[in-house]
Amino acid sequence: MIKSVITAAGKGTRLLPITKELPKEMMPIFSKIYNNNLIVIPLLQFIFEQLYGIGIRDYCFVVGREKRSIKDHFTPDETYLNELSKKNNALMSNFYKRLEKSHLIWTNQNKPLGFGDAVKRAERYIGNDNFIVHGGDVSIIGGSKHPVLRLIKTAKDDPSIAAVLLCKKIKDPKRYGVPQVKNISSSVYLVEKVEEKPTKPKSNLGLLPIYFFKPKIFESLKNIKPDKNNELQLTDAIQNLIERGEKVVAIPIKSNEIEIDIGTAKTYKHALETSYKIA
């Protein structure tokens, strides 16, 4: 069974003041994930529900020092359940049943040391297993099947692959990790190089924070050094994988799949509008 690492350690400063007390990953979006009824759900729970829906049962949450509320939300509370109306009890019971059928562990990233550092902290949990990394402030909605299934299938179809990245075409990808690629097929790119937020992007592709990795990525995370902001970048580790001769590929999201990102007020507005429209 493939494992997952969900990162939720960012401070969310671009969403202040709401994120002073509320972790940005707990910001709500709209969904009809339960019985086709419109509900308001924390994005992090929505991501968990998506991964649960495709068969993933092992989760490592990487959280920050001030994010106790996340762990509380993902801990079944029978006393709270008994105080709810029948309708709301059923809603939370469904969530709790999924939690009880899953294995969740928690690890801390007490300082903002980068996406790569957050993933590195999950090494003991991952061991020698393949795994998915999913940023806690981004999701993909729309489409008939979750793109994580395509990440897994792409790796399964070619055992020589060490990492599968998810990307999308963007007019100006300067705020993304940017891959340089060549086509293997109509739906798979061979990644020749990756750069984090380049001033002069070499392609119109931006990486999304949803990945498939083999455990080889941990060796690369140990090989790289922090950037000028003292952060360990996951893209640098991916570049190290490539330089070590490992095969890294990328797949694009489909035209009916939409990225929702709650990192800024502007992108959160888009996330609310899009999730309401598509829910």
Given this model, what pLDDT does residue 2 score? 93
Given this model, what pLDDT does residue 67 score? 76
CB 257 within 8 Å of CB 142: yes
Cα gap 143→88, rounded to integer Å = 28
CA 80 and chain centroid, separation = 29
> 61 by DSSP, 3-state: which?
strand
pLDDT at 35 over 80: no
Q: Which comes out higher in pLDDT, residue 33 or 166?
A: 166
Tokens describing residue 18: 């709401």
pLDDT digits (tens, 9 = 90+) for 152-174: 999 999 999 999 999 999 988 88
Given this model, what pLDDT does residue 245 score? 97
Question: What mean pLDDT value characterizes the chain?
Answer: 93
Domains of the chain by start residue, with CATH: 1-139+258-279 (3.90.550.10), 143-256 (3.90.550.10)
Given this model, what pLDDT does residue 51 score? 98
Cα gap 243→251, rounded to integer Å = 20
pLDDT at 81 over 80: yes
Q: How far is CA 191 from CA 178, 204, 240, in A?
A: 10, 13, 12
Mean pLDDT, to the nearest integer, of 101-127?
95
Tokens describing residue 55: 């068969």
> 138 by DSSP, 3-state: which?
strand
Q: pLDDT class for 147, splitting at 50, 70, 90?
A: very high
Half-sphere exposure of 37 (CA within 13 A, CB side): 7
pLDDT digits (tens, 9 = 90+) for 225-250: 999 889 999 999 999 999 999 999 99
